[in-house]
Structure 1
Amino acid sequence: MILGIDLGTTNSLAAVWQDGRAVMIPNALGQTLTPSVVGLDDQGEVLVGQAARERLLTHPQLTASVFKRYMGSNRTERLGTQSFRAEELSALVLKSLKADAERFLGQPVEEAVITVPAYFSDAQRKATKIAGQLAGLKVERLVNEPTAAALAYGLHEGSPESRFLVFDLGGGTFDISILELFEGVMEVRASAGDNFLGGEDFSELLIDGFIEAVGKARGLSDKQADANLYQALRKQAEQAKRTLSSAERASMELHYQGELLSWTISDSEFLQRCEPLLKRLREPIERALRDARLKAIDLDQIVLAGGATRKPIIRKLVAKLFGRLPAMNINPDEVVAQGAAVMAGLKARDAALNEVVMTDVAPYSLGIEVSEQTAPGRYQPGFYLPIIERNLVVPVSREQVVNTVADNQTALHVRIFQGESRLVKDNIFLGEITIPVPPKPAGQMAVSVRFTYDVNGLLEAEMTVEATGEKHRLIIEDNPGVLTPEQVEERLHALSKLKIHPRELLPNATLLARADRMYQQLLGDERQWVAQAAAQFQAILEQQDEAAIVKAREELKRVLDELEGEGWL
């Protein structure tokens, strides 16, 4: 059985292709969305999902979130006395999804198809595969998130012919893909995106607005200085965003140094503050349409994916940009995971998917650094020569010939980059190799550079010295920030020593974490009600009477729901 996983910035989901359809897998709380949050409880055991998310406010020093943005980098998150890379935190989320799937399916799960943002770099893709390896999953296939969404949408619609754009705005990343469906062939025409733009950025705008309006005058200027305050503000911002979905005004409140700070923002003011982000959303759309040689009017449908597209402000923008309402007949939270399950079914050669063919494109250009002649006999390094240009159908192989620039040059240093900028300093460095060449006059020694880019977004470079036929091959593996095989083994050993909070006890841990958070937020009688209800629940837990625990859990949940509604979901 191959699992389809949407490893998201804010939430992650798992699905499986079963009986001719994508089936969503519930977690230990019976929900399909598992927050991409990892924490340690008071006993040092690992918590993943909603239980960890509830502790973001009460125990920020023991909890990590939004770590997907740092995949493929050397950045670490400190939880108590331990440090974790983004791959390791992601691996713990994947482990949790794997355990949920095995419980749901009643059989071991050893392989998965994992989705990644279309604009994820080579290093970020490798880091995602490493996260799967650390979680005990074989990950041979990565699929771009908007491509997965399009696959789910295409099968759901059942239309023999369609041209549509997938607008995928998640918690931390934004992707655009334009696809064409024709006689069972799903062809990606163009992709574009922004790896640092998502729903979290809209929350940050509200946090910054609150500090600017009422915080600075009270001495609150640095939102990152106090982790507890930041998480309290973040929760208020999330609630304000939800309120603005159906009301013209929303308020944010924060208890700071014995004073209640309050700020109200209108829908129109929020829209004005969002304008820089909305402009960043437009740019990838325009690039993708331009690359696909299409106009907005040529599209049959606009498909929404990602939880952030639930916001009315985003749907209004999409409607304004394209002159029509987007398609909303598939849950935007689940559509990417459904597509991952379809891809898993294709990989497993499920008979129900025999007629489906999927093609994808390289979402960014890949090239090398070259020197350009600025005067007779003078060359300036630092210029970018694309070899594989963005939006070519993958797998793809392309070749360019370069020459030496100095007399009697004995080596050619090839530096590989990803990006669209004219100068390599503005692109992403991927790797390098030095090739020995026979000494000859400048320009007389040629080397052909061939790039091959596969369906997983991984690059292989082959350099051939034309005079000798000698070949040098480089698979881009040692990206800065990507773990080596030896480091992966070391991290596997370290992760195996971590104690994971028992899955069957997660509902209890989640409810108590929610009670602790609400106790910190509330005052007066309401605070005491929460304290008493939580204490009663803990006393019943110690009796280890399952029937009594279930009843007490429902009672505590009822009390918390009355005070807060559905909670921070």
Structure 2
Amino acid sequence: MAKRALIIGNSRYDDGHFAALPAATADVAALAEVLGDPDIGGFEVDTLVDVEQRSALRALEAFLTRAKPDDLLLLHLSLHGWKDLRNRLHFVMRDTERDFPGATAVPADLVGDWMSASRCRSIVVLLDCCYSGAFTLNARRRDGEAPTVDVAEPFAGSGRVVLTASTALQYAHEDDQDVRYSRSPAGPSVFTSAVVAGLRDGSADLDGDGLVSVAELYDYVHDHVRLRIAGQTPTLSVDSAQGTIHLARNPRYTDLDHLAEMRAAVRDPQVWKRVGSLHLVERLLGSVHEHTRDAARAALLGLTADGDREVARQARELWHRRGLGEVPTARAAGSSRSTGRQPPHRHWLGIDFGTTNSAMAVLDGGDVRLIPNAEGAPTTPSMVAITAGGGILVGAAAKRQAITNPGHTARAAKLRLGTDWSITRGDVRLTAEDVASLILARLREDAEAHLGGPLGGVVLTVPAGFGLDQRAALATAGERAGLDVARIINEPTAAAMTYGLNRDDSTALVFDLGGGTLDVSLIEVGDGVVEVMAAGGDNHLGGDDWDLRIVHHLIDRVRRRHGVDLTDDAVANQRLREAAEAAKTELSAARTTSLRLPYLTTGPRGPVHLDEELTRVEFETLTRDLLERCRTPVEWAVRDAERALRDVGLSFSGIDRAILTGGATRMPAVGELVRGLTGGRQPYRGLIPEGVATGAALQAGVLTGALKDVLLLDAYANSIGVEVRGGSMVKLVERNTTIPTKRGEVFTTHTDEQPSVVLHLVEGEREDVTANRTLAVLDLALPSAPGGVPRIEVAVDIDANGILRVTARDLGTGNTVSSTVDRATVRRALALVRSHRWAELRGYAPVLPESSAS
């Protein structure tokens, strides 16, 4: 395949009606340099400057009609565009006469005809001229005036794609001046300079895979042009597209050649070459680039199932030596599992809905296996974005454009479930529940496509510290996504399922530090039973917090070195955040790392480039307080387990094994902390990163009966209680109570002739109800009676999903009120508690019978 580019730029015109465009010459030079660079574009580049119509027609026809089918052609025009009286677009050449465009200009329709007739299957056109959006090839177009095409749609290895500097109605210039003054002579035009910048330093490689696709280049250019000129809207037209057209390499991404070598070696028919490929695979597993690590991990996973025993054995050894956990295709448990398969069209799924990434797994024929998404990756980014045209991007597509659209990209929505948080762009508004529903719907679609039929039930996972309203919000989001949510279990409990079904009796501490939350559970496993003794955590502590410390550190460095404050620069912050995540990952294995971001922003003295070194010691110093926050949940879990056993006359024998899961536990300091808190034993790192999803799939197998003789006894991490007169809380459900459970208490009134009793249900551990979370307020009407006479039974019923229903009943009359705790219930209760009426209503709070006035 040949990559050929033709760049035409006209800066001078014989007809005085067309102003000189000095920028066109700069456009040609800048673009030719970057496209011709073998490390970036690798194109064979021909340029024409200030060309006459006849020469231009000859060059265009030869370029488009003589290409081979497998060639990749790129045509760039930087010149005036002119419309005739019939509204047809013409490209203005040096000798074009304004009054005779049909005879002296190059008709856009003619160029379109040559493209349509060309044998070449892959043609990309960049038009930097006025009215360029009028050149659409009768294709799908993306701009503010046409239907939106999802950026995730693969503009694949073949097709005809046109990127234009403006719409069919706009000049391609910086303001509302006459077309004769449409360009600044200082350098390339805004459109072409954005194209060049995105290719030159790899900034347009939005998904970080080392290649710049047409779709990525369009998104990058669109946002950069709109930032500089609000009235200019680049467009994208697509015709007969299949797959992904990649235009250039990211020069900052150095792994591409090694990846190609690895892919060839692992598929080589000669055994010795596949054995030899393991050395390269191991090297790429340590890359700073996430895409490279994922590709190496996928290649290694394939080798673990190689037809040659020696290749498979060495691959498995490498898998475990690198701490990748259990091989996903291995038997999920021992002989206790059923050998029967689920009905082929009704697979039950386990889903780990993560803060940063989400994963799926299925129990099939006694084996647990991960379900890849539509792009073949084992995880899907938990991100959703709103495009300029009001479209919705989910998963990897949202992540790819996050740098250029940070203000309208939702990340970590999981942590905002049960709140009023939302993002808005134009007429589109998404709540946290909406975002969760969109992500879960994408997972469902990918799973159904992979499994070849609709799903049965689904087991979802949540942080152990998730409140009742957060669990209810996730359940609702799942239902809206078309899922049959059969069970919601705690994430560390799911990890323990993956770890412990075929283990001897033991007590394990599961320490799960993910992107946004920390979960800690103390669990007893053995004889097919997984019982949660204590659970807790921190819903506001995760790996993202370590990333942000690096970001703030870098912002401070830039401020001191360059006098530029990046605090409110959303685009720069997104680039810093991604660089920080990569640095954190590299420092898990290395003692020092480099952070280099060219053209991070523009300061008073010109472009600002980031070039910093960060050592592991500096990183651990910056984040020491975050590490200390990990200590408290572990100490609480041990203390709760000791108290629970003491209450039944048993003693706590200690922790046999600490299990680390979650990406952030790869940081050496975290492992050392857990080791110190659990008696100096080396923590177990053998769970695969997707161990929570596989545990959820195992629980799905329990629910369907596919997995026999297994019992999961999960616990609810928080206490539930009712406010009594005086503002204190009477607990109905103690923290770490095994669920499902139903608990109740009988209350009475405090004063004579009390018309009703107001029941304020709260969640938390503090005696003072104002320090706990409001869940619901129930108002039960009472007949006239002296204080202390009525008997009001308050019962809470928490099901296996952690969903709570509260009921209050007057035992004398049988009158009953009840409510299920969900987001709407919490919202109404909070509004009431915060209103001026609450002081009066609290006077109707119940008391325990022995505390009544009678």
Tell whether the structures are fold-level matches, with TM greater than 0.5.
Answer: yes
Deviations 1:281-307 (A, max 9, x none): 111111111111189971111112212
Look up the match of 1:496: none
CA contact (8 A) 1:63 1:79 kept: no
- 2:443 paired with 1:97: yes
Matched, 1:310 2:653: no
Q: How many residues are treated as equivalent by the alignment? A: 467
Q: Does structure 1 residue 203 correspond to structure 2 residue 547? A: yes
- Between structure 1 and structure 2, the one with the greater Rg is 2
Identity across matched positions, percent: 39
- Match 1:184 to one of 494, 512, 528: 528
Is the 2:558–2:565 Cα contact (8 Å) retained in structure 1?
A: no
**1:13-51 residue CA offsets vs partner (Å, 9 max, x unmatched):** 111110102110011221101111122457654332223
Change (3 A) 1:88 1:110: farther
On the 8 A contact 1:62/1:80 being kept in 2, the answer is no
Superposition deviation, residue 481 in structure 1:
5.3
Give deviations 1:511-547, integer Å, cap 9, x for gaps.
xxxxxxxxxxxxxxxxxxxxxxxxxxxxxxxxxxxxx
CA distance in 1, matches of 2:771, 2:778: 20
Does the CA contact (< 8 Å) of 1:210 and 1:252 recur in 2? no
Instruction: Show structure 2 runs of 5+ residues with no match.
Output: 1-346, 646-650, 829-854
Q: Distance in 1 between matches of 2:660 and 2:671?
A: 9
Using the alignment, how far apart are the partners of 1:256 and 1:43 within structure 2?
26
What do residues 179-220 of structure 1 show as CA deviations (whole Å, max 9, x unaligned)?
Answer: 112322211111111111111111111112222343267555
Partner residue in 1 for 2:580: 237
For structure 1, which runs of at least 5 residues remain unmatched after alignment? 373-381, 483-569
The answer to whether the 8 Å contact 1:215/1:261 transfers is no
Aligned AA for 1:421? Answer: R
Other-structure match for 2:258:
none
CA distance change for structure 1 residues 466 and 41 in 2, over 3 Å: closer, same or farther? closer
Q: Read off the aligned partner of 2:544 and give its amino acid letter.
A: E
2:781 aligned with 1:436: yes
Residue 745 of structure 2 corresponds to residue 400 of structure 1: yes
In 2: Cα distance, 1:219 partner to 1:455 partner:
56
How far residue 265 of structure 1 moved from its aligned partner, in angstroms, is: 3.1
Structure number having the greater helix percentage: 1
For 1:252, the aligned partner's letter is L
Report Cα offsets for 1:250-284 as digits up to 9, x if no partner. Answer: 34345232222444333222212222212221111
Find the partner of 2:433 among 43, 66, 87.
87
Whether the 8 Å contact between 1:61 and 1:80 is mirrored in structure 2 is: no
Q: Distance in 2 between matches of 1:113 and 1:468?
A: 41
- Structure-to-structure mapping, 1:88-127, within 5 angstroms: 88-127=434-473
* Corresponding position: 1:421 with 2:777: no
Equivalent residue for 1:449? 794
Query: What is the rounded CA distance, in whole Å, between the counterparts of 1:365 and 1:171 in structure 2?
Result: 26
SS in 1 for 2:373: coil
- For 1:360 and 1:267, the matched residues in 2 are separated by 38
SS of residue matched to 1:56: coil
Query: Secondary structure, in 3 states, of the residue corresponding to 1:201?
Result: helix
Do structure 1's residue 271 and structure 2's residue 620 form an aligned pair? yes
Tell me whether 1:363 sits opposite 2:707 in the alignment.
no
User: What secondary structure does 2:402 align onto?
Assistant: helix
Deviations 1:360-395 (CA, angstroms, capped at 9, x unpaired): 1111000111123xxxxxxxxx32221101011111
Distance 2:390 2:456 in 1: 27
- Greater RCO, 1 or 2 (C-alpha within 8 Å, sep 6+): 1
Counterpart AA for 2:696: A
Q: 2:57 aligns to what?
A: none
- Who is 2:693 aligned against? 337
Quick one: distance in 1 between partners of 2:781 and 2:466? 33
Residue by residue, what CA displacement relative to the aligned partner does 1:377-417 show, whole Å, maximum 9, x if unpaired?
Answer: xxxxx322211010111111222232322232111110111
Residue deviations 1:155-202, cap 9 Å, x none?
3xx223121111111111111111112322211111111111111111
For 1:289, the equivalent position in structure 2 comes to 638
For residues 405-437 of structure 1, the C-alpha deviation after alignment (integer angstroms, 9 at most, x for no partner) is 223211111011111122222211111110112
Residue type matched to 1:72 in 2? Answer: G
Q: Could you say what secondary structure the match of 2:470 adopts?
A: helix
Aligned mate of 2:479, from 128, 133, 143: 133
SS at match of 1:463: strand
Residue 81 of structure 1: how far off its partner (Å)? 4.5
The normalised TM-score by structure 2 is: 0.53
CA 1:221 to 1:389, structure 2 compared with 1: closer, same or farther past 3 Å? Answer: farther
Greater displacement, 312-321 / 463-472? 463-472
After superposition, residues 529-540 of structure 1 pair within 5 angstroms as none
Q: Could you say which residue in structure 2 is the equivalent of 1:328?
A: 685
Distance 1:182 1:259, change over 3 A: closer
Deviation string, structure 1 residues 110-158 (Cα, Å, up to 9, x no partner): 5311111111111111111111112111113111111111111113xx2
Counterpart residue type for residue 247 of structure 1: A
Give yes or no for contact 2:500–2:526 (8 Å, CA) kept in 1.
no
Within 2, Cα distance between the matches of 1:112 and 1:339? 12
Corresponding residue number in structure 2 for 1:47: 393
RMSD: 2.2
